[in-house]
Amino acid sequence: MADQTHHAPTTNSDDPLTVAEVEAVARTRLPSHVYNYYAGGSDGQHAVRRNRDAFASVNIVPRVLRDVKEVSTETEIFGRTSALPIAFAPSAMQRLAGGEGEIDTARAAVKAGLSLTLSSQSTVSLEDVMEAAKAAADGGVEPNFWFQIYLTADWEWNTQLIARAEEETADLVFAAAGYKALVLTVDTPVLGNRLGERKSPVVLPRHLKLANYPADNRGKPSLNRQLMDARTAAQARKITSDARGTLHDPSLDWHVVARLKSLTSMKVILKGVMAPEDARLAVEKGADAIVVSNHGGRQLDDIPSTLEVLPAVAEAVAGRIPVIFDGGVRQGSHVFKAIALGADLVLVGRPVLWGLGYKGQEGVEAVVHILERELSRTMALAGVTTVADIANATLVHRANARL
């Protein structure tokens, strides 16, 4: 009788073949509390798993006898060409992951011809990241980088930070860094109940800091994380009072879009839209794009996967502004499925961090190459030669499939 034993696949740490293998290597190299901080979600981790599992419920129906000798993965966003329909999502404190953190990520993005969104909670200043990106471009195409922000109740601070990132500014106090879009995270009036962080708080070591913030924020959790860990209502009220407007502003409403548009020439993108009604409002209020995102499962745990809500959100937008997608993307076929269901661009977050943990800039580049090869192969096997044609691909949801 043949041996029916199933062996777990081995990982060649020098040459991982999939994003999952890159993650496996990174997990062995990162301190456990850092890995868990990046990988974890809120409460029971249901939303994290739901994001990943949703892709398995959707299958691609291939077309055959189509000329797929030449497959192009290029796409266009805001008039700029991207080598792939992929961009790097904002992820905080990347120097904890490895290498030079955000510097390595920026260089890898430029080398790959991709857009990057820098987290405002980066461990390298927004100016230094852009300087590194422009140096990596070496006189070539200017980096198409975006800047993510959490707004506080202190609008003087908000305005100064936006001015630093601005593509153009008449304010001589700030040298405009040259970011092309402002990405406002709208799903985080307060932090979700991230039990892993509460039990093993991640704090920056003394040699690192949140480089875009003036206060010394090393050696202790941020005020937003202290509020997340409040054990009583009275304790939460005291933290909020003592913060003096430096916490995420929970009072934001739709008027914020117009206010931001009055402050900046950058595109304004809203990240964290899940409801079709909010997608319609984003268009009506003047947002330049939305990101369908549940914050990687780190906010509300009892929430659908982003792939589940994507078609309805895309239908509500009806092509009036770009629909960007994130959540659970680990394979090139996942990118294909998201685009087929209505996305114009797909963000990857954790895979970039695993690349950093694996081998710094080279590791991030490896992740990009893996996704590019997988996407190109998926397109050819599906009978599709351009990213635009992916929208016409036929998908079958397994609940309705004949198995």
Helix 306-317 and helix 46-54: axis angle, to 10°? Answer: 70
Q: How many CB atoms lie within 10 A of CB 182?
A: 26
Q: How far is CA 58 from CA 53, 61, 328, 333, in A?
A: 10, 10, 14, 10
293 is in an annotated binding site: yes
37 is in an annotated binding site: yes
Tokens matching residue 77: 């966003």
57 is in an annotated binding site: no
Active-site position among 207, 248, 295, 334: 295
H-assigned helices in 318-349 = 332-340
43 is in an annotated binding site: no
35 is in an annotated binding site: no
349 is in an annotated binding site: yes
330 is in an annotated binding site: yes
185 is in an annotated binding site: yes
Closest CA to 375 of 75, 115, 15: 75
402 is in an annotated binding site: no
329 is in an annotated binding site: yes
Does residue 369 carry a catalytic annotation? no
52 is in an annotated binding site: no
- Three-class secondary structure assignment of 235-284: HHHHHHHHHCCCCECCCCCCHHHHHHHHHCCCEEEEEEECCHHHHHHHHH
81 is in an annotated binding site: no
Burial class, 240, CB count within 10 angstroms (exposed 0-12 / middle 13-18 / buried 19+):
middle
User: Given phi > 0 = left and psi -120 to 50 = alpha, else beta, which region is 118?
Assistant: beta
Task: Give the angle 354-137-366 at the CA atoms, nearest 5°.
Answer: 25
Binding residues for FMN: 90-92, 119, 148, 185, 271, 293, 326-330, 349-350
Binding residues for glyoxylate: 37, 150, 194, 295, 298
Catalytic residues: 295
Binding residues: 37, 90-92, 119, 148, 150, 185, 194, 271, 293, 295, 298, 326-330, 349-350
